[in-house]
């Protein structure tokens, strides 16, 4: 994965959810040896200005408040990173739109579970959903009060199929695992016409029909191909593979209970003209206990 531009971008508004996501993003930036850009969005609905994008035309009270919030976020990040690696941006616009714009040229963009305050929108729900669906780079949603990180005790889980988005997700997941001394767990979920949606199951050569055996063989071929792709790039990385059956979103989500990061691909090229978030991505960002990264093709 090419790391360029702003490195890791994270939205911050001073809320508990954004503090958690900022801490996660700072630690991730340090592991990946990337700079961190902290973004504070000033919602134009709450602070109308002319021209719309001019931060200097904001009322003094909102300017000062937003600057204090940004300074707090940068100081918090500087506890993890060197000052020279932390940058800040205040921008006028909805938090979702601002973060989507700032995602251009970034390695990945991070949002938290909730937001608050006069000048920033909430950071899960509309904002996290919009950023995850439309960002120009991979997008991470961090939930909970103390999220885990990829490390030797918490593997990186990646869901694969045979799409371009899956290959890109696989490559990024492998890079993160290698830089975190974490194992990589590659999972292919085969969907059978009558498969249960709420849990995973394993089918072997003694069970099922000719049709389900074909699905199983194709799934096993996919994980073998994925494993070979990773080992060619990271020969020293510990790689595990698994084939499960059921509804992909509901099967992948529980795997986050023991993971440091769950990575999934999503079809669509990002940007507001792109597709809406896919069903698998939508499910895992709401159900998985660990941070989730969504990668568009």
Contact 38, 70 (CB under 8 A): yes
Residue 107 CA from chain centroid, whole number:
11
pLDDT tens for each residue of 166-206: 999 999 999 999 999 999 999 999 876 555 554 455 555 44
CATH superfamily ID and name for 155-296: HUPs (3.40.50.620)
Which has more pLDDT, 128 or 178? 178
pLDDT tens for each residue of 30-45: 999 999 999 998 875 6
Report the topology of domain 7-141.
Rossmann fold (3.40.50)
The predicted structure's pLDDT at residue 54: 66
C-alpha span between 244 and 265 (Å, rounded): 17
Confidence band, pLDDT 50/70/90 cuts, at residue 118: very low
Bridge partners of 263, per DSSP, are 158, 293
Burial class of residue 210 in the structure, from the number of CB atoms within 10 Å of its CB (0-12 exposed, 13-18 middle, 19+ buried): exposed
Q: Tokens in use for 101?
A: 């714009």
Entry pTM:
0.84
Task: Say whether 155-296 and 7-141 share the same fold.
Answer: yes
Domain ranges of the chain: 7-141, 155-296
The predicted structure's pLDDT at residue 5: 61
Report the percent of the chain where pLDDT is more than 90.
58
Contact 102, 6 (CB under 8 A): yes
């Amino acid at each position: 994965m090419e790391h360029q531009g702003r490195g890791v971008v994270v939205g911050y508004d001073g809320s508990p959810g954004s503090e958690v996501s900022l801490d996660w993003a700072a630690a991730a930036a340090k592991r990946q040896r990337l700079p961190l850009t902290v973004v504070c969005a000033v919602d134009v609905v709450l602070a109308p200005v002319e021209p719309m994008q001019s931060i200097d035309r904001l009322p003094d009270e909102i300017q000062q408040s937003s600057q204090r919030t940004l300074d707090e976020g940068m100081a918090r990040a500087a506890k993890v990173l060197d000052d020279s690696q932390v940058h800040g941006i205040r921008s006028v616009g909805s938090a979702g739109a601002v973060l989507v714009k700032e995602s251009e040229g970034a390695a990945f963009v991070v949002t938290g579970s909730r937001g608050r305050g006069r000048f920033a929108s909430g950071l899960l729900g509309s904002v996290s959903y919009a950023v995850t669906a439309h960002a120009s780079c991979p997008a991470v949603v961090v939930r909970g009060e103390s999220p885990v990180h990829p490390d030797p005790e918490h593997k990186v889980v990646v869901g694969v199929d045979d799409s371009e988005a899956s290959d890109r997700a696989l490559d990024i997941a492998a890079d993160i695992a290698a830089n975190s001394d974490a194992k990589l767990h590659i999972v292919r979920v085969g969907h059978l016409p009558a498969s249960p949606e709420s849990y995973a199951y394993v089918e072997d050569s003694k069970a099922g029909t000719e049709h389900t055996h074909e699905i199983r063989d194709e799934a096993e071929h996919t994980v073998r191909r994925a494993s070979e792709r990773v080992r060619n790039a990271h020969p020293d990385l510990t790689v595990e593979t698994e084939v499960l059956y059921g509804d992909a979103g509901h099967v992948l989500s529980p795997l986050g209970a023991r993971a440091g990061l769950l990575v999934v691909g999503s079809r669509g090229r990002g940007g507001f003209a792109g597709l809406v978030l896919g069903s698998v991505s939508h499910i895992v960002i709401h159900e998985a206990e660990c941070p989730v990264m969504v990668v568009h093709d």
